[in-house]
Amino acid sequence: MLEKTGRRINKAARPKSSPPLPHHRLVVLGIFWVLGLSLVVIKLAIIQVFSHGKYEKIAKGQMENRLVLPAQRGNILDRNGQVLATDLIYYSLAVRPKLLKNPESNARKIADFIQQSRNSVLQKVRTSKPFVYLAHRLTPETAEKIRALKLQGVILEKKFSRYYPYGQTGAHLLGYCDFDNHAKAGLEMGYDEFLKGTPGWSIYLRDALGNQFPNLDFAASEPVNGMHLETTIDVVYQGILDEEVKKAVEAHQAGSGSAILMNPLTGEVLGMANYPGYNPNEYNRYSMERYLNRAITDLYEPGSTFKMVSLALCLEQLHLDMQNEIIYCENGSYPIAQKVIKDHHRFGNLTARQVFENSSNIGVIKLSKRFKAPLFYRYARDFGFGAPAGIDLPAEAGGILHKPAEYSRHSLSFMSIGYEVAVTPLQIASAYAAVANDGRLMQPYLVRRVVDSKGKEHKEYRPRPIREVVSPETARQMKTILQGVVENGTGKNARIEGISIAGKTGTAQRLDRNTNTFSSNSHIASFVGFFPVEAPRFVLLVVINNPRLGYYGSQVAAPAFRNIAQRIIGLPQNDLPQWDRPGEPEEKKSASVVYARADFPEVKNVMPALEGLAVNKASRMLKKKDVEYEIVGKGETVYRQEPSAYTPLNGKEKVRLFTDAAGDPRRALMPRVTGLTLKEALQVLSTWNIPVEVEGSGVVVRQLPGAGQRMQHNTKIKLVCNPT
């Protein structure tokens, strides 16, 4: 292309300009920019105005921590104020690994206090987890030392741990608490609503380093500690039951054993033992069978101890002349329902009284043919069979008592001698308590009062009569015949010179369901009785399950009954609990108590409790009893005795008293002082001339060294006490 000048123009050399954006594209970009800005503004408005509370809560959650303050469980006390269960304070140690500086160095510091290796602690803190526990059950002293290190990211949690000062003693009554102090059995579970208390809470602020400090803008809710239980248990009686049941089971190579001690006038359970048992302080070491309170859960065919129902009918319904009514007992063998019933002797003619005194199965079966089934059922129900006894413990079984409509042709015959029925040991003990209590059945119970930490009574449980089973006159006649069982019949091995005892042996063969025959090598041996007969103070039942050495109740259970009763009677008079019969006038109450106390003569053939006494005082007591003794060592205080306290003495053994002599190569053993008041414990330890460190006040709940450990004269004793 040419210009007018004639020169050719080079189009490629002319610079180009950017074409302008179309108008509509500018509009679209503007709209998007405005919308984006609007969304940001709206979002900020939502956060600042409408969602302010939500995000403030999130922020606080990152800075604040709501801590639960655990409540201390109440104590469980025996009838004399001895602590059976209490809470000890301990601490759990945890860390937030990301906040722990110098892990290698600090792991070594921590390991020194928690008895773990440095490598073990270091391995735990080198984790991606935000929170990890290093140790549990640290003492307050150890926790304080760790706290003094002021390590960032280290947390000490205050907790409570259940402690049972008497170990296995009474474990099946008390139950136990798990690692988190939650009740799992026994009184702990049955009265958990009173014992557990109410947890509190507190708000803590947490800084960037993980350190916690109280938020003063929030008032903390203090925990309310649990209430205390005052029980009917006597820990001395309970200890005797535990020891003697264990001896009987081991001596006869039995599968298990149980014993129950009750006050027949009130229904108070003074002790209840099962063997094998468990230590609630180490509850996780045992199989589930060990936790069973067999005295209230195990059902068994009672055998001859159930004959008291037949005896009641003979006296109150048949009006038998027990001295002159003659029963022919078939020379010890009697076929019935394709089975052969046998007596332990080949009895011929026996009076009705002798039938029961000698526990003739054949004689009782012949008498039962005069019974009416509905009446027999009514008496058995009235004595408490076929329904739970109502004790204040969880998991009590009700037993089996068939109704007359379910009876076979021969059911009444078998039931009259204690077969085709299933009972618990507690039901048998309660039924005999009714006989001892002039025919009145009382509800068994374990807790007398619930009190708060200041001793204010919250709830009281009083004796509760259930019904009159037999008349007082019938009960009196039953007592006489049951006393004859001990003096003239199968219960002779339960006799104690100078003490009147009424009771009944029981030997039950287990029924083999496969062959429909009674086993010849599997038995349950039992003895139940009460004493003194004139004014019964105690009802005692001993049941030994599947003994291999001997199997008759008279051979296996009656001697254990005697040993327990003799040790109880041998206790100082002021240790015997004072009871009143409910509903009696005050003047009659006091008279009955005096009469009952007078009924226990001084028993000279029982080993007194000498441990902790001065040697000269112990010597005088043994001389009074005309017992030969030997003093081992040159100390001034008895720290151990052989045989143990309240053991029956036959006059032939030699008593040995071990003293706390410094020159004796067998150093003194630390006595048990847990359960004593601090004053009592210091009195026991005062003759040792060893420094005693005391933590707290009230009752001793923990001791170091433990009971039975060897002592040196440079040993330091520590007592941990809790107020009751």
pLDDT in tens, 388-413: 999 999 999 999 999 999 999 999 99
Q: Does the pLDDT value for residue 366 go beyond 50?
A: yes
For residues 552, 553, 554, 560, the Cα torsion angle rounded to the nearest 10 degrees is 130
Q: Does the pLDDT value for residue 58 go beyond 50?
A: yes
578 with 490, same domain? yes
- What is the CATH classification number for the domain harbouring 341? 3.40.710.10
682 with 661, same domain? yes
Gap between the Cα atoms of 239 and 99, Å rounded? 52
221 with 261, same domain? no
Asked if residue 40 is part of any domain, the answer here is no
373 with 432, same domain? yes
* pLDDT (average), residues 108-135: 87
280 with 135, same domain? no
222 with 239, same domain? no
Please write the tens of the pLDDT for every residue from 453-502. Answer: 878 899 999 999 999 999 999 999 999 999 999 999 999 999 998 899 99
Gap between the Cα atoms of 428 and 423, Å rounded? 7
Classify residue 336 by its DSSP letter.
E
Q: Which of 204, 231, 258 is the last residue of a domain?
A: 231
Burial of 620 (0-12, 13-18, 19+ CB in 10 A): exposed
Asked if residue 94 is part of any domain, the answer here is yes
In which region does residue 461 sit, left (phi positive, over 0), alpha (psi from -120 to 50) or beta (all else)?
beta
Asked if residue 17 is part of any domain, the answer here is no
Asked whether the beta carbons of 623 and 674 are under 8 A apart, the reply is: no
244 with 103, same domain? no
What is the reported pLDDT for 518?
Answer: 59
User: Which residues are 656's β-sheet partners?
Assistant: 630, 642
Please write the tens of the pLDDT for every residue from 495-554. Answer: 998 899 999 999 987 755 566 555 667 899 999 999 999 999 999 999 999 999 999 999
638 with 491, same domain? no
Mean pLDDT computed over every residue of the chain: 83
525 with 624, same domain? no
Asked if residue 19 is part of any domain, the answer here is no
Please write the tens of the pLDDT for every residue from 161-177. Answer: 999 999 999 999 999 99
557 with 637, same domain? no
Q: Which of 202, 231, 260 is the last residue of a domain?
A: 231
Classify residue 90 by its DSSP letter.
E
Q: Which residue type, as a one-letter code, is found at position 664?
A: D
User: Which residues are 528's β-sheet partners?
Assistant: 504, 541
Question: Can you give the C-alpha Rg of the chain in angstroms?
Answer: 38
* pLDDT (average), residues 127-149: 87
Residue 243: closest CA among 525, 655, 647: 647
Q: How many domains does the chain have?
A: 3
Asked if residue 48 is part of any domain, the answer here is no
567 with 503, same domain? yes
Asked if residue 606 is part of any domain, the answer here is no
* pLDDT (average), residues 238-264: 96
405 with 351, same domain? yes
- What is the CATH classification number for the domain harbouring 197? 3.90.1310.10
Asked whether the beta carbons of 235 and 522 are under 8 A apart, the reply is: no
User: Which residues are 451's β-sheet partners?
Assistant: 228, 457
Asked whether the beta carbons of 438 and 475 are under 8 A apart, the reply is: yes
Domain range holding 303? 235-586
Asked if residue 244 is part of any domain, the answer here is yes
User: Which residues are 658's β-sheet partners?
Assistant: 632, 640
Lowest-confidence segment of 188-197, 343-352, 578-587 by average pLDDT: 578-587
Asked if residue 31 is part of any domain, the answer here is no
